[in-house]
Structure 1
Amino acid sequence: MQDLEIYIRDLEAGAVSAWLANHLDHLELDDSDVATVSKGAALCQGERLKITLYPGAFGKRFTCLVMEGGALPWNTDLECARSAWRAMDTEIRCSPGDWKEGEPVADEKWWRLDHRGEQQVVWN
């Protein structure tokens, strides 16, 4: 099972489902209330994937989006973040590489995508 994880700043209601509807089939996600955890599902290349939105991540202004499945529409968190930024035009952050749960975070660096471009930054 693969996963993608990005963080969306100041998420607006309906923004994630509007974006993902262009990349996934049979999308089932109600993101009309961005203050509560939302769970959904979709198909990618015929395989089912789970979608979860976790509001209040990193100082409450970010919502964490996690997609898990055997097939995903992007190969990396950064590719996913780029697509999300183009669709939502709000700051998107993601980890810089193949970090796995339980491993130390190297230098606390994250990709930040916003109107200034793509930069590796310390999350603070």
Structure 2
Amino acid sequence: MMTNHPDIEIYIKNTRLSSIVDWLSARFEQFEPTASKGMLHQYEARWQQQRFAVAIHERALGKSWISVWFQSAHTPWQIDLECAREASEKLNAQVRCIASGWQEGDDPDEWWRVEKGQETKIQWVTD
């Protein structure tokens, strides 16, 4: 049985912020900006009558990676990998997410790389 991660975070490579916002605006019942400062953008999403914060950080890792952090366990996805699959398909981009739900003893450098329908476990220290 799969349990929901307490939050969902993915990293999207070489994708425009506007494309990510378009995807999320279509995905959620509501997706509205709440704050923006520099490369950090805050949004409020609504899904199945629940509201939660979403943070999008441009250049989260180098110049290539944008972090998208859904700050809730109540999202359309149970685990990060499900979100990464959808993002990769909708945005035609490489997406990475942690291989586990950040439990004690997990390898913090073990990630999923999702691209063109392929999923590969990798060690990701930095690019």
TM-score w.r.t. length of structure 2: 0.81
1:1-124 superposed matches below 5 A: 2-29=6-33, 36-69=39-72, 71-99=74-102, 106=107, 108-115=109-116, 117-123=118-124, 124=126
Q: Which amino acid aligns with 2:7?
A: D
State the distance in 1 between where 2:108 and 2:18 align. Answer: 34
Q: Deviations over 1:60-98 (max 9, x none)?
A: 310110011352111100000000001100110000011
8 Å contact kept, 1:2–1:72: no
8 Å contact kept, 2:89–2:116: no
TM-score w.r.t. length of structure 1: 0.83
Superposed structure 1 runs of 4+ greater than 3 Å apart: none
State how many pairs are aligned: 119
Change (3 A) 1:60 1:105: farther
8 Å contact kept, 2:8–2:72: no
| Structure 2 residue matching 1:18: 3-state secondary structure | helix
Two-structure CA RMSD over aligned residues (Å) = 2.3
Q: Percent identity?
A: 27
Q: Which amino acid aligns with 1:51?
A: V
Change (3 A) 1:41 1:107: closer
| Structure 2 residue matching 1:29: 3-state secondary structure | strand
Q: Which amino acid aligns with 1:110?
A: W
Unaligned runs of 5+ in 2: none
